[in-house]
Structure 1
């Protein structure tokens, strides 16, 4: 298939809220999905790393995806379905497709560190079996293995592999992949908020964003300006958001973003073990950054929609 999703713009990597008994708080999850849709995001990504997928059962994965789909009206839902076990990733992907997901986000296999040929086989196995647009997710800091540019380019030729989430921190590699896939129906999305603007500058199409959970309007405004070629405005917004980008990664994601969600009243900061609450030493700085952003002029987020820039994009 050719992707019927325009992977252009801002796709928040959603948090999974838990109640005091560590059960999924579906009411808060759905309210949050609606808040983000109303803010103008271009899609939602539940049950990824930010959604604590590693501590959800398979049934919980599917129920979260179903709940988000049910909550929103007009944005695509891209379900995280990756695993280091190809059979498990395939099962999760098939179940997400049956639940009505519009696309899939697949982290590369972690811990067992397959060779590049093993990565190709892994992603192709799922792409051959599940007829949905799929984004390959490269985050070597979590997986211990980089998806090399040659591998990403090879995967881009598959009709169901529609994009690449870049969280390697290597802008040269990201630019190379964007350059070498220009003739494919293939999107390169930033997976690192601090590199979203540079990623767009070298050919990226947007971001799967942690910060977009907290400041969706400003994130959309920054990405929309960059995609429109208004780099002066995009740079201004990037610097406004810069302190937030840094605070959201002072500890392992999603620890800081869930704390920020609670401070803003969007959801609880509770984590499932082995993750823990944000250390007290960081909370004051996070509160200050959030307060400063709340005090910024609403004009900063004017015209935050990325739709105009999407016309004619890959």
Structure 2
């Protein structure tokens, strides 16, 4: 992946491949920096394109602005050149713009940006929101279309309009509309990344560039190889690797993410099974189910 300068305030970036939206480990209520460093080291040589910090899987909504910056700085210091995207959300335009300016100076390759939650603006309002923030950013923007979290559905023509902005270069697609997904892939204006883990195969097989997938915390190299083979048109090889993964993906989201994921990572000794309220730990029954499904992924 090459970053190519367009001018002093703008760059293009190839977001192809598999990205992990990193969990945020906690220890007795505080961000667990040693565990965070372990996680980064654990995924460095796994074949991923990079890491996404402070997304929904990272419990960003439960982190203060200062904690989010701490997480970013810790990951960047440990990443050793592994590309990092920063998740950043808000509903106050001025404050969100100021945070984008601040984090853009930390060596990240992109900002993952959803619609403002709770407000539910019009499509014109969404265009204004994303355009203003993309104008502010010194790094490329990855649109995050996830209406079941934000309450705002981004229509196809809205996304097409935004794709004309030189800094808006990719889309994390959780929109739930396969027709819209295929249309955006066919347009070729944005790099479409699967955001729903169960849709990785279908999205990349249709021409999507990759995925941002929480489930890929487990069997990471396998997920990365599925994406690589699909992009190389090795459908049979990709399908053989993919076949045992959907039941595991379904189980990881059977209870609110990242509870099940953290429970399994805790079993691997990578972090403590701790979340911030109102998120809760996975049930014992689900953890037992996950262990059995994990064992079936050869």
Give RMSD over aligned pairs.
1.3
Between stretches 187-196 and 2-11, larger displacement belongs to 2-11
- Distance in 2, Cα, partners of 1:92 & 1:237: 40
Instruction: Give 1:286 shift.
Output: 0.9
C-alpha contact 1:5 1:76 (8 A) present in aligned 2: no
CA-to-aligned-CA distance 1:182-231 (integer Å, 9 cap, x gap)? 1x3x2100001110111112221000010111121011010001000011
SS in 2 for 1:44: strand
Within a 5 Å distance, the mapping from 1:105-116 to structure 2 comes to: 105-116=112-123
Within a 5 Å distance, the mapping from 1:1-314 to structure 2 comes to: 1=6, 3-19=11-27, 21-180=28-187, 182=188, 184=189, 186-293=190-297, 296=298
C-alpha contact 1:39 1:216 (8 A) present in aligned 2: yes
CA-to-aligned-CA distance 1:23-54 (integer Å, 9 cap, x gap)? 00011111211211111211110100000000
C-alpha contact 2:145 2:173 (8 A) present in aligned 1: yes
C-alpha contact 2:101 2:138 (8 A) present in aligned 1: no
Instruction: Give 1:172 shift.
Output: 1.3
- Distance in 1, Cα, partners of 2:11 & 2:191: 10
Instruction: Give 1:65 shift.
Output: 0.8
Judging by fraction of residues, say which structure has more strand.
Answer: 2
C-alpha contact 2:12 2:169 (8 A) present in aligned 1: no
Structure 1, unaligned stretches of length 5 or more?
Answer: 297-314
- Distance in 2, Cα, partners of 1:87 & 1:240: 46
Between stretches 8-17 and 139-148, larger displacement belongs to 139-148
Q: Give the number of aligned pairs.
A: 290
CA-to-aligned-CA distance 1:226-264 (integer Å, 9 cap, x gap)? 000011111122212112111111011111111121122
Instruction: Give 1:3 shift.
Output: 4.1
- Distance in 2, Cα, partners of 1:78 & 1:139: 17
- Distance in 2, Cα, partners of 1:167 & 1:33: 25
SS in 1 for 2:130: helix
- Distance in 1, Cα, partners of 2:171 & 2:102: 22
Q: Give the structure 2 partner of residue 309 of structure 1.
A: none
CA-to-aligned-CA distance 1:109-132 (integer Å, 9 cap, x gap)? 111111111111111111101110
